[in-house]
Chain A
Amino acid sequence: MAEELATGWGRALVFVYGVFAVAATGRSAVQLGEDAGKLPYWLSLLAAVLYLVATTCLLVGGRTGWAVARIAVSIELVGVLAVGAWSYLDTDLFHDKTVWSHFGQGYGFLPLVLPFAGLAWLHHTKPAADR
């Protein structure tokens, strides 16, 4: 499957990742501006960076873009699951909503769906071994 990463359904993915990159960057910037000492705010920044990397890699495409996108989306999946579970266990630490807390509840649970959609798309567009 040598489809372009950013065409077809990939374009829809780029759109959503782009929106989340902007949303997460904005939120973490505001929150860190208020109080840079809170871990959840830094996790929001991590989410923002991963969304930015994923968006860029999908747009750039190619073998490297695909590989880096898979790493970013994999970390994103682990992140949203870990932070989502953690935020239920330690409600004091996650007093303020962040992108990944409660599995992205504040964002219609899209942060939870997005890495699965991303990995499915990357699997679908996997570069052939001989190219």
Chain B
Amino acid sequence: MTGWSYGVILAISGVVAVLLVVDLVRDRAAQDSHYIGLGVLQVGVLAQLVGGCVALARTERELEGAVFVSYLVTVALLPVVGAFFSLAERSRVGTTILLLAVATVAGLELRLWDIWGGTGG
């Protein structure tokens, strides 16, 4: 699992975040398009979870493996949990929760990138 997977997921997060901000400004509840975007993001993070674990098993480098996997798992859970929370709140609050979830995914992707890069590069 090389650096590009983080870039792809960051890009998806960015697109979904823009959609969410647009509807948040319009004071709308989360739309179908948001959930489709979130679904795409979910597929991405699940693929990354599998790919990341495989890459971790293959690499010779010294990495904080437990931390890396725990981040991968957290990132894979976030879209689902965020979706459940937002479905319970069909207003701009739900839209805000999705935005928070997507922003957290983006933040964790940056951390994952750091961890995978390791301190020694």
Residues of B in contact (CB 8 Å), total 19
Nearest first, the 9 A-B pairs at minimum CB distance are: A11-B89, A15-B85, A12-B97, A15-B97, A12-B96, A12-B93, A9-B93, A30-B67, A19-B104
Contact across chains for B97 and A11 when beta carbons are under 8 A apart: yes
Q: With both chains docked as a complex, state the minimum distance between the C-beta of B97 and any C-beta of chain A, in angstroms.
A: 5
Q: With both chains docked as a complex, state the minimum distance between the C-beta of B70 and any C-beta of chain A, in angstroms.
A: 6
Is residue A22 contacting chain B, with contact meaning CB distance below 8 A? yes
Residues of A in contact (CB 8 Å), total 16
User: How many A-B contacts at CB < 8 Å in the complex?
Assistant: 38
Is residue A37 contacting chain B, with contact meaning CB distance below 8 A? no
Contact across chains for A11 and B100 when beta carbons are under 8 A apart: no
Give the residues from 53 to 95 in chain B that come closer than 8 angstroms, CB to CB, to chain A.
64, 66-67, 70, 74, 78, 81-82, 85, 88-89, 91, 93
Contact across chains for B100 and A16 when beta carbons are under 8 A apart: yes
**Which residue of chain B lies nearest to A18 when distances are taken between CB atoms in the complex?**
B81
Main secondary structure of the interface of B (DSSP, over half): helix
**Which residue of chain B lies nearest to A16 when distances are taken between CB atoms in the complex?**
B100
Which residues of chain A have C-beta atoms less than 8 A from B91's C-beta? Answer: 8
User: Which of B64, B82, B89 lies at the interface centre, i.e. has the most chain A CB atoms within 10 A of its CB?
Assistant: B89
Q: With both chains docked as a complex, state the minimum distance between the C-beta of B19 and any C-beta of chain A, in angstroms.
A: 18
**Given the complex of chains A and B, what is the CA–CA distance between A23 and B67 in angstroms?**
11
Which residues of chain B have C-beta atoms less than 8 A from A19's C-beta? Answer: 78, 100, 104
Contact across chains for A15 and B74 when beta carbons are under 8 A apart: no
Q: With both chains docked as a complex, state the minimum distance between the C-beta of A3 and any C-beta of chain B, in angstroms.
A: 12
Is residue B107 contacting chain A, with contact meaning CB distance below 8 A? yes
**Given the complex of chains A and B, what is the CA–CA distance between A8 and B90 in angstroms?**
9
